[in-house]
Amino acid sequence: MALITLRRNLCHLSDFRMHGALAALRSQPVNHVHKVAKKRLCPRSCPLHLGPFKVRFHHARRKEFHSENGNDLRPVGEAMFSDRDSFEQNLENMDEQVFYRSLSNFTSSEEVLSFLSTLQTLPDVLAAGALQRICEMERKAEAHRLPKEILENRVFQALCIQFEQEPSNLSNTGLVTALQALTLLYVDPQSSLLLNLVAECQRRLQRGGLDVHSLCVLGETLIKLQGPESTTLDLIIYQLQGEKLENFAPEDIVALYRVLQACAEKADQHQAFLNRINNFSLSLVPNLSPKSISQVLTALVALDQTQALPLVLKLGKYAVRHIPHFTSEELGRVLDAFIYFGHHDRFFTTALEQRVASLCLTLAPEAVSRVMEYCSRKQILSQPILNAVAETFVCQAEKFSPRQVSELIEPFGKLNYLPPNASALFRKLEDMLFARFNSFPPKTLLKLLHSCSLIERHPVNFMAKIFSPYFLQQLQGEESCLDRLSLAQLTQLLLTSLLECPFYKGPKLHPKYQVKSFLTPCCSLETPVDFQLYKSVMVGLMDLLGARLYFASKVLTPYCYTIADVEIKLDEEGFVLPLTADEDVHRRIALCIDGPKRFCLNSRHLLGKEATKQRHLRLLGYQVVQIPYYEIETLTRLELVEYLQRKLFSQNAGVCW
């Protein structure tokens, strides 16, 4: 292994003999040195000013190291200590654990470089780790490039010039770690330092001389430098396919997922390899960190690994334990994956409720919107989450973008839930809409206002705007016509204004934007009837009424709703009329046979669109009779007939047919 010599008291380096890189620099004019340094590393606006320094190589025993979260750099499988006084100036005999621990404790690049200046020799792996730590801290400071003070620091120059001039003497770990570190910030891709490191990596790759960990690190680095189309990346994946998965550390498996994720368009070519990885990863899940779990789930989504459900389920099981430790971004990724794979777990929901209820005010807006989307997609009526999010919006509405506002409010309508602070919530929403109406994309605004109407918070103050030709033209955009869902939402808002807001006297929706039925094969505002449940009720009705001709199904009302379940007609005396009768109809009964899909998950709480439909049918003059699945699923045939008799004719015990 190469050892980089970093002498104490760099200001007195003129007392030392010049060797290697120092001699080469010393022999050149100052202007030439500046020019060469500029080509090596810096962006064009950041020239390096190299001064004299001494570099010397020794051979030392190498240890692998691993950075799980980008901060905690340490040797793999070894503990860490904080006794900095135990450092020896000669790192050939120094405990590397202490070195990585110290790097983790530093809070600035200047501290790292000051510390390195106290050392005489530095193994290349540790030098690469120090370089990586410097780049990580500058990246967290949102710097796009290294500051001039760092670039002109002689210790930093010593690190870079050694990596450039002697890459063949570096260990695999030192080589790929140095290259990885430089990709964290903007460095000119054509700099001699990067070109030399990449060339050396390619030479070793061609010889098959890189270990599994180095291949994984190099793969990720080349993706950043050359993109997923790199031909070298194909060779890396090919070599990794030939390795035994038992030789991969957990962090290498996670890195491999990230590499394959970047090549998602080639997933079909690597599916056999992915199947092996997915099966092998089942045994690694207990050892994965929260960050790794989120990254694996994200990769599985990108790679469309729907056949890897056992792995998704196991990752979900362990994600429950890590919910308190996920960052906002990681939690959002986990929720996105669960939404994609259709996964939900009551233990996960319980843990999520605790996290959101306790930390909602500190969660990033994007994480809050992902939590709400998860509840909405899975139809989870979680009062702790919805209440906490409503309170967050009231307190911090200005932090949310228009899209996030829509994603936050829509679940309240879909799940048919009003939080305790509903008045404050919708007052805040109305104020925001008045102030930022034009900043909301048309479809986002329509979905938002439609969701409000589902829970009887009717957007009367905005109906004139959304029914206007100008808004409808914006909504249509460059398409030849509006999509079916948007038309249905507009039509239902019109119906709401007629039935529930008779005081609204503004413009109405033009007939060409109105639909005839809310029940469509996709994007429907009505949930189709559960067929098995419908068959059971139909048998009971035939036993009760005597014949099929006394009730109808799939009846389209004049107001777009489809009574897809059952409609029964009664005359003035309460007698049941045949379904073909059009005269003497005094009363109509709409039987709503509500299966599980019409309710929130694992609850008896109707979804917003179903509650709105039943509310509107009552306003249209129907007698709505609800037949929920949980009341009839265990009844015998005779018990079902008696049940239907009570439900339909409780006030007309002497009815005849």
Q: What per-residue confidence (pLDDT) applies to 13?
A: 27
Q: Which two tokens stand for residue 503?
A: 């005081």
7 against 583, higher pLDDT: 583
pLDDT of 629 reads 95
pLDDT at 27: 38
Q: How confident is the model at residue 141 (pLDDT cuts 50, 70, 90)?
A: low
Q: How many whole angstroms separate alpha carbon 211 and alpha carbon 140?
A: 30
**pLDDT at res. 89:** 43
Give the model's pLDDT for residue 148: 83
What band does 23 get if pLDDT is binned at 50, 70 and 90? very low
Per-residue pLDDT, 456: 94
pLDDT at 364 over 50: yes
- 482-502: per-residue pLDDT in tens? 889 999 999 999 999 999 999
Residue 17 above 60 pLDDT?
A: no
Question: What is the rounded radius of gyration, in angstroms, for the C-alpha atoms of the chain?
Answer: 34
The answer to whether the beta carbons of residues 395 and 356 sit under 8 Å apart is no
279-299 b/e (C-beta count within 10 Å ≥ 16 → b): eebeebbeebbbbbbbbbbbb
Q: Is residue 338 over pLDDT 60? A: yes
The whole-model pTM stands at 0.77
Coil/strand/helix, residue 592: strand
Please name the amino acid found at residue 61. Answer: R
Mean pLDDT of 57-80: 36
d(CA 505, CA 9): 85
Please say if the pLDDT value at position 76 is more than 80: no
DSSP-assigned letter for residue 544: H
Nearest to 451 by CA among 612, 224, 614: 612
| pLDDT class of 143 with cuts at 50, 70, 90 | low
Q: What is the mean pLDDT of the chain?
A: 82
How far is Cα 656 from Cα 556, in angstroms, rounded to an integer?
27
Interval 146-152 mean pLDDT: 82
* pLDDT band per the 50, 70, 90 thresholds, residue 71: very low
What percent of the chain is predicted at pLDDT more than 70?
A: 83
Q: What is the mean pLDDT of residues 249-266?
A: 92
Residue 324 tokens read as 């308190």
Mean pLDDT, rounded, for 174-200:
84
pLDDT for 72 beyond 70: no
Sign of the dihedral through C-alpha 329, 330, 335, 338: positive
Average pLDDT of span 570-598: 90
Confidence band of 85 (pLDDT split at 50, 70, 90): very low
Task: Compute the average pLDDT of residues 521-542.
Answer: 89
Q: What pLDDT is stored for residue 130 in this prediction?
A: 87
- pLDDT at position 466 over 90: yes
Backbone conformation region of residue 77, classed left if phi is above 0, alpha if psi is from -120 to 50, else beta:
left
Q: For the chain, which residues make up each domain, given as ranges? A: 1-207, 531-649
Provide the pLDDT for residue 1.
44
H-only helix segments in 74-191: 96-105, 109-116, 124-140, 148-151, 154-165, 172-182
Read off φ and ψ for residue 94, nearest 5 degrees.
Answer: -90, 150
Let me know how many helices (H) and strands (E) the chain has, helices first.
29, 10
**Regarding predicted confidence, which is higher, 649 or 537?**
537
Secondary structure (3-state) at 607: coil
Of the candidates 309, 379, 432, the one whose C-alpha atom is nearest the C-alpha of residue 598 is: 379
pLDDT of residue 155: 85
- In this prediction, residues 55-64 reach a mean pLDDT of 34
Q: Which of 101-105, 128-132, 534-538 has the highest mean pLDDT?
A: 534-538
CA 563 remoteness from chain centre = 38
Is pLDDT of 377 > 50? yes
What is the DSSP secondary structure assignment for residue 243, as one 8-state letter? S
Q: What is the pLDDT of residue 105?
A: 87
Between 158 and 330, the higher pLDDT residue: 330
The answer on pLDDT for 41 being more than 70 is no
Which pLDDT belongs to residue 37?
A: 39
Which pLDDT score, from 0 to 100, does residue 142 have? 66
Mean pLDDT score, 50-62: 32
